[in-house]
Structure 1
């Protein structure tokens, strides 16, 4: 283990001693599923109150408008909660970005609503790991830095969005603006239970293909109908065949249909793409375009495509490697073994990396079973990860960049 300087040791101890569990318990008690606007408003206010301990100005930012295709093929607006933005010392020589999300995957009527202590000491609760625990770690690390002699050299923004779990569609422009000009970024998604971080990530794209045919009587004049459901099924098969060579395709759902004696006029295919590279994303887009054109012509239907590749692939470039090396070395100084591996999952780290900013996006607590009622976090990882963040930030400031 490397010897910490006296300044580093003071920052690390301050981070470890922060009352993170006292923050986490009331945060987990608030249901903040992405569509629960009342819960998100409550969560945003709790976070604004907690992060007001830091200097700078806090704003709750109105979400950008988002539309989605309904089951009948019509565009309809989707409401989101406000996003938190904190800006501290924007003129300081070193500018960093810290990001997280306040939403969870558990809707207001989900039975998983409370936190409990498991027999092994782990905390089982909605959002405990993903990622309200990470928000507590972020706050503790930043408070420790603010109480050091290095704070004046550091400027930063904190973005905590309300829609990460559904793709950050209403917050992506805010994230892109906040990433501009930053030397590095930390996102507080949970690490694995053993502390392993996410390295390179693939991208993702979600699309809805609305098919409009023509209804007709299934027995009297079926030849006059144009079966939208059959056309949607062919789209699903064609797109599934595009998988391979760094691209996975998941036709996930077809909305539509009609009574048995009616040729269905409307159908909507929902499909998810996971490209490992920008080339794979381009091939996916080409497959979408050709399938829509050919199926529309072959079935005499209209096909309208709605969606995007909202999370670009996140490779590990030289700048990201240097940032990982800095965090690894900070871990060694704390007696931690910090490793990373590639993953097919996505998060706001993808969007930040696409802005040219080196990012580590699993700086949060150690835990597992996220997105399920078994979600858990390991309580001792609060102090551990706060210390890791605080020391990494301090060394970024000392070195002047990633």
Structure 2
């Protein structure tokens, strides 16, 4: 971390920070968390977009953009259209000298039939609820910071785009093009995933790829002439073991599921192996791609089966390089200026920050609330962090507007 002089907020900056309304942010978060918006719940995604859009529209004209068409392999090995919700997009002052991309997601991991559907208070400042931390609380923080900026004397010096996508929890396949295009138009990025409970930010991130290997063998009677069969299930299991053996420093591989098989008296002719790969660097990603191709070819030859591979590295690795450190240092300085200790550490988790950084954009992607136990029914948000995180974002935006930040 760079050693710099910390400048407390000026009188003008303090006046902006004092406008931030924690009660309004909390009301918004609780209202939005009460709407189920699991990634596959298209009706719920529309409902939460309807609820959030008025707050965005107060800042400027809001577009609802359809997702890019995407296919996915099903349990039969057939590629079928994969439905995603629309994305909210806002552009304000695109001709300003400094332009910031702010991103968040309106989807959660909790399906429409998941039992976790409502919020409850754990204590006076801790609320347990679906998406409170990840990331409806983060969206409330983002909007509060932008509302404060719009009412400030610094607004003319900064333009911004907001992208709220509906498929982040399922790899942003339908919104990745929108994110990339917006990133290329902007000078820096802020993403509102939750910080850790103590306020620590995610620094470097591994990449992530999700794949489906479709194995096609030959069916045969398991008792009368098994030698004529080519067991796709056994081949898929062999491939899973070979992939698991690729794990090393800088690379994790998780064989997650095999679909296939049937009656005990038939040699199975189809299996679909699904697996996740997480590389630390682009070099690790390239090595993984080569090793996966080798494993697929070897298993196909040994078992006399055909294997096709579907999927990609939808999240590139995000190393904490000098470009990223520059923005992290600014966030640290702003946090220190308002009494927040800001640190960061590397993580194996991924988010849209990976995709934005891959364009060369500097992005801090855990600007949301402090919270924890995300992706579980124990998910919680520290409500005191709503104001502190909105103040942090607002000060970062004000400092950027005054600095003439360049990409």
**TM-score computed with the length of structure 1 as normaliser:** 0.98
Aligned mates of 1:50, 1:139 — CA distance in 2: 7
1:16 Cα offset (Å): 4.5
2:18 to 13, 19, 22: 13
Partner residue, 2:84: 80
Q: Is the 8 A contact 1:15 1:390 kept in 2?
A: no
Q: What are the superposed Cα offsets for residues 47-77 of structure 1, whole Å, 9 maximum, x if unpaired?
A: 111211113x210100111111111111111
> Over residues 155-208 of structure 1, what are the superposed CA-to-partner deviations in whole Å (9 max), with x where a residue is unaligned?
110000000001001100000001013111000000001100000001011100
- 1: CA distance between counterparts of 2:268 and 2:377? 38
How far did residue 11 of structure 1 move?
1.3
CA distance, structure 2, for counterparts of residue 4 and residue 70 of structure 1: 54
In structure 2, the partner of 1:192 is 196
CA deviation map 1:231-253 (0-9, x unaligned)? 10111111111111310111111
Do structure 1's residue 362 and structure 2's residue 336 form an aligned pair?
A: no
Where 2:64 maps in the other structure, the secondary structure is strand
Shift of 1:149: 1.0
Q: Which moved more, 1:251-260 or 1:293-302?
A: 293-302
Distance (whole Å) between structure 2 residues aligned to residue 325 and residue 40 of structure 1:
35
Contact 2:217 2:230 in 1 (8 A): yes
SS in 1 for 2:277: strand
- Aligned ranges for residues 113-132 of structure 1 at < 5 Å? 113-119=117-123, 121-132=125-136
Q: Who is 1:30 aligned against?
A: 35
3-state DSSP class of the match of 1:98?
strand
Q: Is the 8 A contact 1:16 1:384 kept in 2?
A: no
- Over residues 350-384 of structure 1, what are the superposed CA-to-partner deviations in whole Å (9 max), with x where a residue is unaligned? 00000100000000000000000000000100000
| 1:137-159 deviation digits (Å, cap 9, x = unpaired) | 00000000011111112111000
Verify: 1:54 aligned to 2:52, yes or no: no
Q: How does 1:1-400 map to 2 (within 5 A)?
A: 2-16=7-21, 19-55=24-60, 57-119=61-123, 121-400=125-404
CA–CA distance in structure 2, aligned partners of residues 7 and 198 of structure 1: 30
Task: Work out whether residues 16 and 386 of structure 1, in 8 Å CA contact, stay in contact via their aligned partners in 2.
Answer: no
Structure 1: runs of 5+ lacking an equivalent: none
RMSD in angstroms over aligned alpha carbons?
1.1
Runs of 4 or more, structure 1, over 6 Å off, are: none
Structure 1 range deviating more: 383-392 or 311-320: 311-320
CA contact (8 A) 2:22 2:386 kept: no
The answer for the alignment partner of 2:3 in structure 1 is none
CA distance in 1, matches of 2:395, 2:313: 35
Segments of structure 2 that go 5 or more residues without pairing to the other structure are 1-5
Identify the range of structure 1 (78-87 vs 6-15) with the bigger mean alpha-carbon deviation. 6-15
Contact 2:117 2:130 in 1 (8 A): yes
Q: Map Cα deviations across residues 3-30 of structure 1 (whole Å, 9 max, x no partner).
A: 3211110111112557101211110110
Distance 1:184 1:15 in 2: 23
Q: Secondary structure at the match of 2:318?
A: coil
Find the aligned partners of 2:327 and 2:176 in 1 and give their Cα distance.
Answer: 23
* SS of the residue 1:274 aligns to: strand
Q: Does the 8 A contact of 1:232 with 1:267 survive in 2?
A: yes
TM superposition shift of 1:288: 1.3
| Paired residue total | 401
